[in-house]
């Protein structure tokens, strides 16, 4: 009886021991799904849904846009290119796009040039009160643009730049330079100072050190600051609305809202097509340099 009981109890012990790892593995997979994959899926849906909605609206005919009772609002029954044709050939959208590109590129280059010199001087020259100067520059970024555009408008009128792209090219750096300077200051901290000391001993000037040593090592930070400046210049609305009046000089964010809305009639297909085409360059440009953007932000905040 004792041997039989022992034999009968052995499989039960084996089953319980084998079930425990399976339960632990299942708990680990469930926990990973709930804590990682499910939030990521929800985040992607929330993030990509506006682009999806713009895309289907841009290719939907008006009969489907205004008749949800017979057509699915989240799908296209019969696609059309009428809205894109209206946008590209019956409006000044190509001109708006070129103006936006010109303003964004020039503002980005000007802001990067000024912020690089300012960040290098604050971080590397170590003059008295440099830390307070860096803090003051960053605090200038926190001033709302809705307050700044009032005195800037007076200066734009006095300089005769109203209703020209130069009004935006010269005013956008007022909010781009402070943040780019703070970002580059943090990244310059991650570059060993001993490299510049060796160059100074060898007789190199500060300009040579900045151009040949510091800037090549700070390429990720420069790319990150450039992405930030380009994106904000491309999407800026308040200054572009206040300083540009003529239709041909407007930027894309302002033009698609003011030129494609007549009274209380919203041309939703053309509006979404303009928004989609206007957001694609920034998204494509950002996707190529996302690794540099993340690495530069890490270098900027780790100290």
Condensed to tens digits (0 to 9), the pLDDT of residues 50-104 reads: 888 888 988 988 888 888 777 888 888 888 888 889 888 888 899 999 999 999 9
CA gyration radius, the chain:
28
In 3D, which of 94, 262, 242, 96 has the Cα closest to residue 168? 242
Q: What's the pLDDT tens digit per position in 181-202? A: 888 888 888 888 888 888 888 8
Torsion of CA 65, 71, 73, 78, to 10 degrees: -70
Residue 251 and residue 96 in contact, taking contact as beta carbons nearer than 8 Å: yes
Q: How many whole angstroms separate alpha carbon 262 and alpha carbon 244?
A: 19
pTM for the complete prediction? Answer: 0.78
* 8 Å CB contact between 294 and 115: no
Is residue 285 very low, low, confident or very high in pLDDT (cuts 50, 70, 90)?
confident
* pLDDT tens digits, 5-59: 444 444 444 455 555 555 655 567 777 877 888 888 898 899 889 888 888 988 9
Inter-helix orientation angle 145-159/173-189, to 10°: 120
At 129-163, the pLDDT tens digits run 777 887 888 787 788 877 887 888 888 988 888 98
Q: What is the model's pLDDT at position 20? A: 58
Q: Is pLDDT above 90 for 108?
A: yes
What integer pLDDT is reported at residue 294 of this predicted model? 66
Q: What is the pLDDT of residue 302?
A: 45
Q: Find residue 262's DSSP bridge partners.
A: 265
- pLDDT for the residue 1: 46
DSSP lists the bridge partners of residue 266 as 261
What pLDDT score does 19 carry? 52
């Amino acid at each position: 009886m004792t041997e039989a009981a022992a034999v009968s109890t052995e499989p039960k012990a084996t089953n319980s021991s084998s079930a425990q790892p399976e339960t632990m593995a299942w708990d680990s997979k469930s926990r990973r799904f709930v804590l990682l994959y499910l939030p990521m899926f929800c985040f992607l849906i929330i993030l990509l849904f506006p682009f999806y909605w713009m895309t289907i609206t841009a290719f939907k005919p008006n009969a489907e846009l205004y008749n949800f009772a017979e057509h699915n609002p989240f799908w296209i029954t019969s696609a059309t290119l009428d809205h894109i044709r209206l946008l590209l050939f019956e409006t000044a959208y190509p001109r708006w796009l070129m103006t936006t590109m010109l303003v964004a590129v020039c503002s980005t280059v000007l802001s990067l040039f000024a912020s690089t010199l300012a960040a290098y001087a604050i971080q590397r020259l170590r003059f008295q009160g440099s830390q307070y100067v860096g803090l003051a520059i960053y605090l200038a970024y926190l001033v709302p643009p809705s307050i700044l555009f009032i005195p800037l408008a007076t200066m734009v009128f006095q300089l005769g730049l109203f209703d020209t792209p130069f009004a935006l090219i010269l005013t956008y750096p007022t909010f781009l330079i402070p943040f780019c300077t703070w970002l580059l200051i943090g990244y310059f901290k991650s570059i060993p100072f001993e490299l510049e000391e060796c160059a100074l001993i060898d007789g190199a000037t500060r300009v040579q050190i900045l151009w040949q040593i510091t800037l090549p090592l700070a390429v990720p930070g420069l790319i990150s600051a450039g992405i930030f400046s380009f994106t904000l210049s491309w999407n800026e609305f308040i200054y572009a609305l206040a300083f540009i009046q003529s239709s041909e000089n407007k930027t894309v964010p302002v033009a698609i809202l003011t030129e494609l809305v007549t009274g209380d009639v919203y041309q939703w297909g053309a509006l979404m097509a303009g928004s989609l085409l206007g957001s694609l360059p920034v998204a494509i440009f950002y996707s190529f340099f996302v690794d540099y953007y993340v690495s530069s932000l890490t270098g900027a905040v780790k100290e």
